[in-house]
Each structure stands twice: as structure tokens, then as C-alpha cells.
Chain A
Amino acid sequence: MSKYILKYNKTGYLKYISHLDLMRLFHRSFKRAEIKLKYSNGYNPHPKMVIAQPLSLGYESTSEYLEIDTWEEFDQGIILSKLNSILPNGIKIIACKSLENFSKTLAALVEYAEYEIKIDSNDLAKFENLVNFLNAPEILIEKYQHKSNTTKTIDIKPLIKEFSYKINENNIVLNAIIRTGSNQNLNPEHFIQGILKYCDIESENCMISIVRTEIFFEKDNIILPIQDICN
């Protein structure tokens, strides 16, 4: 029995595949690749296959992580090449590493994620205000809460670790590292809401595309990409 971490990307039209559909795609693909996954115990056994951090429908990503438990030990290169020969265009395994002596789950370790957000807008001049974005004492957004059907005002400033941007001819590209995972989480939609509100721009007039570029864990106050978990 062995444990592996797979790094993959999800690009192009595949960004329209939901998290659950992606899990099913992986499940079928492992089956086709004859890589037998371990199953959980219990009444309704399911394969031991966990995506470190679900990606919202409509987002691309260049760094996603999947953790699997297999029955047998495999050469990491073979897992990579077998899967890539089966996976559809838009999903590619970039790396496969063995996770020896690793008892936690990746999902529990996720603390931050980095996003590249491109906003096409006719109102680019307004984004000049962003110079002072992180100097504001607080950045308030409205968060809708399904359970109670109410909106709640929250300050997202403490959830933003790093932020930079570049204004181009037709668009602005934002780069941000924000809190992600089960401890503290900032939904990129709320981050964008904060940006647009700060610049006084209506989201209806923008074309927004979002790419997740990395997922991080934290060690001794330093953040590191998930793939370095075993180093």
C-alpha cells in the first residue's frame, strides 16, 4: 500500500467541470489505468482519493493537488504517463510524488492559495485607486449566508496575505495570496467584490477570469507550495 501526491492543472474548457464530476473523472481514469485505489471502510466504501482544495466551477488552475492511496506500489513516472494517456485535454498530471510516512491529509494542511485574476473593463482608470488598497484600515464586503438567508458584513483585510497588480491596455491582472482551507478561508469572489467595491466598479461591466496558481501550507511561519510537503 502506497500514498502519492499528484500535481495537475485544469485549463481551457475543463474549468467548466465541477468538483464532483472531476472526482468521478479521476475515479474512472484510475480504473482505466489499472491503478487500484484503496477503499475506505464502512457501509458505503469510497476510493481513497482526495483533492487538496476543491476548485470552483469556472476557475482554471495551474497547480491542483490530489492525494491517493493505492494497493500496490507504482513507479511514479508510470502513474504520470498512464494517467496522462487517458485524461482529456485540459487536465494534465504535472508531477507525481510518493508520500511516505505521511499520516495527515493534504486537505487539512492547506492554509493559503494564490490566484491570478484578470479583469477586462472599460473603466481601467478607476483601478489606479488600488495603490492604497492594503492601507485601508479595513476592507468590508457583504457575504450572503445561505442558511439564514441574510447578508453579513465582514472585514477581509486580515485574510489577504499578499497582493499586487498590473494595469495593461485592456485589462488589469491581480495577483493575490489569500487564506484558503478549513481554518480560515477567503472566497476569491469576495476578494474580487472587495476590489471592485474599493474602486467603485460594477461587476456587470467586467469580464473576469480566475486562475489558481498555487496552494500553500505553512511551516515555521513560512508558506510553501503543497508539493514540498515531503521535502
Chain B
Amino acid sequence: MINKIELDKILNKVDKPARYIGGEQNSIIKEEGTLSNQFQTRFVFAFPDIYEIGMSYLGLQIIYKVLNETNGVFCERAFVPWDDMATELTNNNIPLFTLETKTEVNKADILGITLQYELSYTNILNILELSKIPFKASDRDESFPFVAGGGPCAYNPEPLWEIFDFFMIGDGEILLVEVVKEHLEWKKAREPKIEFLKRISKLDGVYVPSFYDINYDEFGIITNIDKKFPEMPNRIKKRIEPDLDVLSFPTNPIVPFIETVHNRASIEIFRGCSRGCRFCQAGIIYRPVRERSKEKIKNYAMEQIKNTGFDEMSILSLSSSDYSEFEVLALDLMKSCKEQDVSLSLPSLRLDSISVNVLDELMKYKRTGLTYAPEAGTMRLRNVINKSITDQDIDFGIEQAVSRGWNNIKLYFMVGLPTETDEDLDGIVEIAKRAKDISNKYSQKGGSRFNVTVSVSNFVPKPHTPFQWFPQCTLEEFKRKHYYIKDQLKNLKFVTYNYHGADSALLEAVFARGDRRLSNVIIEAYKNGCKFDSWREHFKFDKWMATFEELGVDPSFYATREREYDEFLPWDIIDIGVEKEFLIRENEQAKKVVQTPNCRDMCSSCGLSDNFECKLRQGE
């Protein structure tokens, strides 16, 4: 345990000290020992960003609950301290500590770090450095924790391979519990460190990178993989639970003292997505679609409100309105929430499918913005990316909202999509103009002014998607596209235009589809001062580029190179259940501008049902 008097001294000096104190309602404390209510395995769940971001992540609450419900296991939390606190910790020689018991993070048995976005990778090193834990797994002896990773970026863990002892691929509720149970057994058996890794590498979903040697040819392309132990699997099969209703859900989540990004109750209504948008990694890796029953959702929602006192609740999933009984569910939830003086957020709705009834109910208390994501400006390009909404759908959606008095609409687009031309960019401008035309039909004298926010992000080709072979736009091309749109929008007073920096999209593309040679780049970039890369004010693109140059690694090899179908891709070692042939087929369909139907309408044989139970396929 760290010196609490010293801690008190520094907490007096830093901004928002409540980030570091723990003790929130519903947080948990356990005692170490051999009794059944005591713990033997200390798991520290670390989120590689600041408290306000990490505490807004439902996955943290889920894992906190399932681990603390496991006998013998204690899960505590750690986050990246903001600069001022990091400096105080370093100057006062206080290592990073857990919020629950103020125990040094390096005293953990397992340090689990969630991998949510590529730009958090340097923050992982920040956690390790502040915890006085060596960066590389090979430099950590028996006295250090196992460092484990999970979450969406673990579906291509290779750029992080040297840093982590193992990765977990799939649903945390299932795999993580098995891993910690194995740890309890291993601890009892008093075996050396490597034996634990051998034990868990037999579990579906666990990848121990040091057990595999990756060989490259002279161009940097993988030739083959050598296993260090014959009993290791050739590919790591993701681990999922087909029935969400058997999983436990955090009905008593930790309630932060301070305002976080999303300070509200939240209920996950399903996992996976049936849409098959070709750019979307989540839509592929979280297959199959698994819905939580309406009854469970309603019960969890009410219990969460009762146990937290939140006055806002949100439902979570990809494309929420695809839930099979969405209208009934949404109206039911709205009614119960209203009785409890709670406002309900429905963040991931598609205006083409949302029912007029839901919209009518929603507008009774929600008058903020409405967000709509056509993703691309023309029908042609939407066909390419398999975002199956027509111009009529878009106009209908906008009209539904505008006619009900919404005067602030947000439109999300991506640029740099495969086959994109300037005509597609013109399409973005056209949609904004049409929104204005529609609003003119309904505008009243003296009514507040109509505003469209056009938000443009940059396409990052992701592993395990049909576009995984596709080259990303160059920085210059991204910038040209941003200005091309800007030029056309600048005279439209009703439009607010935002676009994301292309340089961070380049880095995302490098790490999303990176290989093992990037571990050193991440470590060196961190040493050169890169951290909090997802924070605009901290992002140091020049230092990143200098690091690539210094190490002789070419970022364009990863970002803007087109791959061949027969190339051995770094993430091929991860088996997501969807067949590569399906991804190739989808990529070819994209080139032919042909749509693939929603899984709910017709099965396109992605191969998943050969490996996992897919209820949509059974429903055929």
C-alpha cells in the first residue's frame, strides 16, 4: 500500500483529485487471505485513459462485477493520471496505485488493460512506467504481474506483442473468469510463471504471443509461424457466449463522484450487428447477433436506476433500432423511465427504421440534437460500403425529425472510402442542402434557426473487415478532400462543418493493421514523449514520424499499401469465426457496387454459423 500521508499531500495540489480517490458508491473492497470471503488473486483492471473516459465504459462495470463475484478474486481499478498527477507521482516517488485499496499496481497478480482504440497504446506504457513495471514481457521476472489485454484491438494484438504476456479474444464475462480461476489453481500449485501461460493457452480465446515465432520475408510480409510448443493451437479461436441471458449484468454499477463523459445508467440490449457494413469491424468481430430478452433488459434497467439514483439511462448496442422488438422495448422503457423521473437516451438509432411512435415519445422530453449517419454522400458509395440507406430514407428521416420540431441535426460521414470520387463528396453537400430545403417547409416565423452539423471522419481500414486489404488515403488526399468539402459548405450559413485530423487516422491505420515490428515503435515513441495521442492538445505527430524514421519502419507499408488476397496477414492468427472467403467475396461485391442483404433478411454464409450458434441463421 502506498503512503497515504504522501498521497494526501499531492492530492491537495492536483486538478480534480476525486479522479484518484476511489470509494464511490457500489465500489468494492475485499481483504487478502485464505478464507472464502477473502481473495488470493488480485486483478487490476486498467483503462488506458483518464478516469472520466474509463468510467464511462460499460465493459469496465461488467468485468468489475464478474470478477468480484468470483470467489478468491478481487478486481480493483486504475486509470492513467492526468499530467499534473503523473508529475507529482513521479516527483514524490509514488507508484501508480489502485483506487480501491491504494495498492501499488505492480502488486497485482494480473494487470488487465482494455484495448479500445489504437491511440491509447502509448498510455499503456504510461501505466506501466508509473507502476514501475518493465515495458517488455521478456524483461518481467516472477515478481511482476502478468500483463493481459482484451477488447476490440486485441483482434489484432500483434503491434503490442512484446508488451503483453497474453491477450483474451472474445466476451470478457466468460474467458476472463476462466483465466482467473486458472490463476488461483496455478498459485496453489506454486508453479513458475511460464506454466500459467501454458495452462491458459489451452483455453479458447487466449493468445500468448511469446509462444509463436513470426517469420517475415525480405519485403516484411509474413512467411510462416513457428509454434514453440506443439500443443499450442494454430489459430486462436474467439470465445463468446451465445446466450446473453445467462451472463450477469452490472445492476449496481459504480457511481462516479465527478462528472464523467457518460454519467448514466446503461443497458446493453444486444451484441453483434446484422447490417454488415463493409468498413465496420465491430459488425464482423462481434458476430453473431445475440439479443438480451426484453424482460431482462427491463429488469436490469429498473434495478440499475434503483441502485444508482441516476436520472438518465441509455441503451447500448450497435444499431439499436434493429432489436427485434425495438418499438415495444423502447416504448416500455420510456414509460418506466418516466415513472422514475429518468430520461432515456437512444443513441444508436437509424432514422430509416425508427418508428414514428418512438420518435413521438422521444420528443416529449428530448429536444437536443438528433444524429444521423449516412456515412457516404451518394447511393453508389453507400452501396459500396453496404450502408443500405437510400436518399429517400435520409430525406424521410430528416423530415420526420424536422416536422416534429427538431432544428438541430447532425450528419456523420466518412471520407477516404474505397472507390470514392469527388462526386461522392458533392453528395455530402447535397444532403446538407436537402436537409435545409426540408426544414424550410416546416419553418415558422420566429422559430429558432435550423442548423445542420456535417461531421467528417477519416476512413481507417480495419482488420477482419472486407476492406482489410484496402489502402488508406494518403495524408495529402485526406486534406484535399476536407478542403474540397469545406469550400462548398463555407457559404451555407446553416451548416457547421467539423472534420477530424488526418494525421491521427494515419496512425490508427498503421496500428490497426500492424505487425510485430511496431512494438518497438510504440515504446520508442513513448520514450520520445508521445502519450494521450487521442487528445488533440497532446498529439505529437512529428515525434511519431521521427520515431518511424529513426527505427527504419515505413508507416506507408501498413497504411497505404494494398494487400493481396493470398498475403498472410498479421491478424490471421486470430480466428473470429467468419471465413476469409466471405471477406474476399464482400470486397469483390464492393468493387462491383453490389449490396449484401442484412443477416436478418437473408444469410450470406459468412461462415460464422459453422463455428458458433447463430440465431439469425436458425431463424431462416
Residues on B with beta carbons closer than 8 Å to the beta carbon of A88:
23-25, 257
Q: How many A-B residue pairs have CB under 8 A?
A: 54
B309 touches A21 (CB 8 A): no
Among B9, B25, B310: residue with most chain A CB under 10 A? B25
Is B258 an interface position by the 8 A CB rule?
Answer: yes
Residues on A with beta carbons closer than 8 Å to the beta carbon of B306:
32
* Distance A209 CA – B4 CA, assembled complex (angstroms): 14
- Shortest Cβ gap from B153 to chain A (Å): 32
Residues on A with beta carbons closer than 8 Å to the beta carbon of B21:
13-14, 16
B24 touches A28 (CB 8 A): no
Total interface residues on A, CB under 8 Å, equals 24
C-beta contact mask, A11-41 vs B, less than 8 Å → 1, else 0? 0111011100100110111111000000000
A28 touches B257 (CB 8 A): no
Is A207 an interface position by the 8 A CB rule?
Answer: yes
Is B131 an interface position by the 8 A CB rule?
Answer: no
* Distance A89 CA – B20 CA, assembled complex (angstroms): 15
Residues on A with beta carbons closer than 8 Å to the beta carbon of B23:
12-14, 88-90
B9 touches A207 (CB 8 A): yes
Is B134 an interface position by the 8 A CB rule?
Answer: no
Residues on B with beta carbons closer than 8 Å to the beta carbon of A89:
23
* Distance A89 CA – B25 CA, assembled complex (angstroms): 9
Residues on A with beta carbons closer than 8 Å to the beta carbon of B311:
28, 31
Stretch of B11-19, B209-217, B467-475 at the chain-chain interface: B11-19
- Shortest Cβ gap from A28 to chain B (Å): 3
A13 touches B12 (CB 8 A): no
Residues on B with beta carbons closer than 8 Å to the beta carbon of A25:
25, 257
B255 touches A16 (CB 8 A): no
Picked from B8, B22, B309, the residue with its CB within 8 Å of the CB of A31 is B309
* Distance A31 CA – B24 CA, assembled complex (angstroms): 16
Residues on A with beta carbons closer than 8 Å to the beta carbon of B25:
25, 28-29, 86-88
A28 touches B308 (CB 8 A): yes
Total interface residues on B, CB under 8 Å, equals 23
Picked from B12, B20, B308, the residue with its CB within 8 Å of the CB of A58 is B12
Is A57 an interface position by the 8 A CB rule?
Answer: yes
B310 touches A21 (CB 8 A): no
* Distance A13 CA – B311 CA, assembled complex (angstroms): 25
Picked from A29, A57, A87, A209, the residue with its CB within 8 Å of the CB of B17 is A57
| Contact (A21, B307) CB under 8 Å given A16-B21, A57-B17 | no
Residues on A with beta carbons closer than 8 Å to the beta carbon of B341:
31
B18 touches A17 (CB 8 A): yes
Give B255's nearest chain A residue, CB to CB. A28
Residues on B with beta carbons closer than 8 Å to the beta carbon of A87:
25
Residues on A with beta carbons closer than 8 Å to the beta carbon of B259:
21, 24
Residues on B with beta carbons closer than 8 Å to the beta carbon of A30:
309
Residues on B with beta carbons closer than 8 Å to the beta carbon of A32:
306-309
A29 touches B309 (CB 8 A): yes
Residues on A with beta carbons closer than 8 Å to the beta carbon of B307:
32
Residues of B within 8 A of A (CB): 8-9, 11-12, 17-18, 20-25, 255, 257-259, 306-311, 341
The contact sample of 12 A-B pairs, CB cut-off 8 A, is A13-B23, A14-B21, A16-B11, A16-B18, A17-B258, A21-B18, A27-B309, A28-B309, A29-B25, A58-B17, A89-B23, A209-B8
